Structure 1
Amino acid sequence: MFALPRWGLGSAALGNLYTAVSDEDARATVDACWDAGIRYVDTAPHYGLGLAEERVGAALRDRPRDGFVLQTKVGRLLVPTGGDAAGRDTEGFDVPATRTRVWDFSAAGVRRSIEDSLERLGLDRVDVALVHDPDDHLDDARRGAFPELLRMREEGIVRAVGAGMNETAPLTAFVEEFDLDVVLVAGRYHLLDASAATDLFPAAQRGGTAVVLGGVFASGLLAHDDPPPESTYAYAQAPADLVARARRIAQVAREHGTTLPALAVQHALAHPAVASVVLGMRSPAEVHRNAGLFAPAPAGVWEALDREGLVAGRVAA
């Protein structure tokens, strides 16, 4: 199985996801990750129309290249718009629309995507290349992207290949069909949703594929010590019943001297199929806070949660 650090930086926020981050704060965030011992960084062309890759590359360029694992993705090519940048991106990133995304899962598109990413990163290689969000392009990915990435792995251009999606069924099929090193699944295994454990995790374990989890905070609801009613879940307003359940988990956590976010991280890593989690961070303060979430919670908190049936699909560490 491809070896990955236990946790890493998810860089969508450094591409100005939802709100802008200054170049200085982005650099300080990556530097703080390095100081905290984080040696795994996940990025993608999609994030800020290349801005995340540019910022990650600038911050890592002077670090020992064999000292970190860099992961990017293929499937969206970035094409200059030729405009005056007066418009803004329409896919959730606070950046000027100087580029546009073009879906391309062909073999040639994959090669070009990696070449373009390396140019934005200013680095000589990426370690892990994932097919990104091929939900509406499954056949194209099967015919073009996966075979080409496997060829690039054989050629030594990338060290590991895989896929990153939000849905488990296609990821499971890809794991069973191709010799993948890594899969990244977002929002399908956390304290409130264990769906990835029913299909993807067993398939990955059978195939020796490393599973990386994104979205262990359920896109916001589980990121708070005391979740507010207006919390987000799956990138929308959280349903009232899930807010109530998260608040009850948070209350039990406090009673045992820990926090809801700490339980979210530790629950994710407790499953034997999970190799790593990536956490989105946009400031050194968030890095320092997240670094403190890994100290093991008291065993009694899990027993208390189990008695009330509050945690989905828990596996004892």
Structure 2
Amino acid sequence: MTGSQTPRPPLPPLGFGTASLGAEGVAEDLLDTAWSAGMRYFDTAPHYGAGLAERRLGAFLAERPREQFVVSTKVGRLLLPADQADGRVTEGMPDAAGVIRVRDHSRAGIEQSLVDSLDRLGLRRVDVALLHDPDDYLDEAVDSAIPALVDLRSQGLITAIGVGMNQTPGLARLVAETDIDYILVASRYTLLDRVAAESLLPLCARRGVKVVAGAVLNTGLLADPDHALNFDYQPVRPEVRAAARRVREVCSRHGVPLLAAALQFPGRHQQVETTLLGAASSAQLAESMAALETPVPEALWAELDALASELRPALAGGRWR
């Protein structure tokens, strides 16, 4: 059996993904809306707004009892003054304060990443630490980053560890070769794209690794198949848009909004412990919460399951699968 030896409590079935908190101008009451809706699991990362999401989340949680919420953050990127990058791998351009994202999967880098996140969050510990998007650094993940997380878990600084990625082959390797508790699989187990169910989720079941499903609307395509601009961070290909519209047509014939089916789908799998919801406004979050209460008949699930294999070829070819 993989994972920590101390039994860990399960994550709540719903979590709030804080990527939108990294953008300027996000409504200040968004976290209040999430909390009022009963959400107590919050996922964040240094990458979101170069630390802004963590700081905003930390300020909000400072007024709540620690035992009432669960936090996951991510490691693998340090936020450093650009003049201290020292020729290392950087991402993007420096922000207005001159801070740039620096990749660092060394043991020291992982430890520093966690320390910096705790400082921004104003917390003494986080519940889950996830290695963030090590797509091009899988050897480093196996050799140094995840062993560092294992040690931090044994010291009690974090309760559980894992990896978050947008692709299934890399996740499968890390599930098979390392001692993690969770994966956060983004975009690969959705009503439209179910590639994670083919081998990754069965592997997780065998290894005792639980799953957090993120980006379950495929970067907005399952929220609005007609107007969404991107799929997997690239312009939506015509065949992918057509596939999303097919899914919507099936839902419509059963009288169920596409959003309702899309948000409820991941949680049907026994290996998925949590579905992350994202929102850029309180109104958008309220719409999602209402969609989660919409009844979905078994006949619709059966028809969508039958359609999935037919649509699979339309989704092939992207880097992130």
1:90 to partner: Cα distance: 7.5
Does 2:52 correspond to 1:51?
A: yes
Distance change in 2, residues 1:312/1:6 (3 Å): farther
- Residue deviations 1:33-65, cap 9 Å, x none? 000011111111111100110111111111111
The one-letter code of the counterpart of 1:46 is: H
Sort the Cα spacing of 1:101 and 1:230 in 2 relative to 1 into closer, same or farther, 3 A: closer
Residues in 2 aligned to 1:106 and 1:309: alpha-carbon distance in whole angstroms: 40
1:308 to 1:201, Cα distance in 2 relative to 1, 3 A: closer
How big is the shift at 1:202? 1.1
Q: Aligned residue for 2:11? A: 4
Corresponding residue of 2:232? 234
Rate the CA distance shift 1:91–1:264 in 2: closer, same or farther, 3 A: farther
Equivalent AA in structure 1 for residue 25 of structure 2: V
| Equivalent residue number for residue 42 of structure 1 | 43
Residues 28 and 310 of structure 1: CA distance in aligned 2, closer, same or farther (over 3 Å):
farther
Q: Residue type matched to 1:292 in 2? A: A
Once the two structures are superposed, what CA deviation does each residue of 1:2-45 show, in whole Å capped at 9, x if it has no partner? 511111111111101xxx334xx1x3111110000111111111
Cα 1:186–1:230 change in 2 (3 A) is closer
1:9-28 equivalences under 5 Å are 9-16=16-23, 20-22=24-26, 25=27, 27-28=28-29
Superposed displacement of residue 96, structure 1: 2.8
Q: Number of aligned residue pairs: give it.
A: 299
TM-score, structure 1 normalization: 0.87
Counterpart of 1:289, as a letter, is E
Structure 2 gap ranges (5+): 1-7, 85-89, 313-321
Which contiguous aligned blocks of 4+ residues in structure 1 show a shift greater than 3 angstroms? Answer: 89-93, 303-313
Counterpart residue number, 2:316? none
Instruction: Find the aligned partners of 1:307 and 1:167 in 2 and give their Cα distance.
Output: 23
Q: 1:79 maps to what in 2?
A: 80
Equivalent residue, structure 2, for 1:259: 257
Question: What does residue 132 of structure 1 align with?
Answer: 132
Contact 1:41 1:71 (C-alpha < 8 Å) held by counterparts = yes
Change over 3 Å in CA distance of 1:198–1:37 after alignment to 2:
same
Distance in 1, matches of 2:190 and 2:166, equals 13
**Residue 161 of structure 2: SS of its match in structure 1?**
strand
Correspondence for 2:271: 273
CA distance in 2, matches of 1:221, 1:196: 18
* Deviates further, 206-215 or 230-239: 230-239
Q: How far is 1:230 from its partner? A: 5.0
Q: Percent of counterpart pairs with the same letter?
A: 44
> Does 137-146 or 302-311 show the bigger shift?
302-311
Q: Aligned runs of 1:148-163 on 2, under 5 Å?
A: 148-163=148-163
SS at the partner of 2:259? helix
Matching residue of 1:63: 64
Contact 1:76–1:103 (8 Å) recurs in 2: yes
Q: What residue in structure 2 maps to residue 86 of structure 1?
A: none
Amino acid in structure 2 at the alignment position of 1:302: W
Partner of 1:169: 169
Would you say 1:302 and 2:301 are equivalent positions? yes
Task: Tell me, in whole angstroms, the C-alpha distance in 1 between the residues paired with 2:264 and 2:231.
Answer: 19
Stretches of structure 1 that go unaligned for 5 or more consecutive residues are 84-88
With over 3 angstroms needed to count, the CA separation of the structure-2 counterparts of 1:29 and 1:271, relative to structure 1, is same
Distance across 2 between alignment mates of 1:288 and 1:231? 23
What is the deviation of 1:307?
5.8
The Cα shift of 1:287 comes to: 1.5
Could you tell me how far apart the structure 1 residues matched to 2:271 and 2:152 are?
A: 26
CA distance in 1, matches of 2:240, 2:134: 29
Please tell me the residue identity of whatever aligns with 1:259.
Answer: P
1:246 positional shift = 1.8
Q: Distance in 2 between matches of 1:216 and 1:49?
A: 23
- What is the alpha-carbon distance in structure 1 between the residues aligned to residue 187 and residue 127 of structure 2? 24
CA distance in 1, matches of 2:248, 2:229: 14
Cα distance in 2, alignment partners of residues 60 and 218 from structure 1: 28
What is residue 288 of structure 1 aligned with on the other side?
286
CA distance in structure 2 between the aligned counterparts of 1:170 and 1:197, rounded to whole angstroms:
15
Deviations 1:283-309 (A, max 9, x none): 111111111122231223234445655
TM-score under structure 2 length normalisation: 0.86
Counterparts in 2 of 1:312 and 1:65: CA distance versus 1, 3 Å: farther
Compared CA separation, residues 229 and 31, structure 1 to 2 (3 A): closer
CA RMSD of aligned residues (A): 2.3
d(CA) in 1 for partners of 2:167, 2:191: 17
Give the superposition deviation at 1:260.
Answer: 0.8
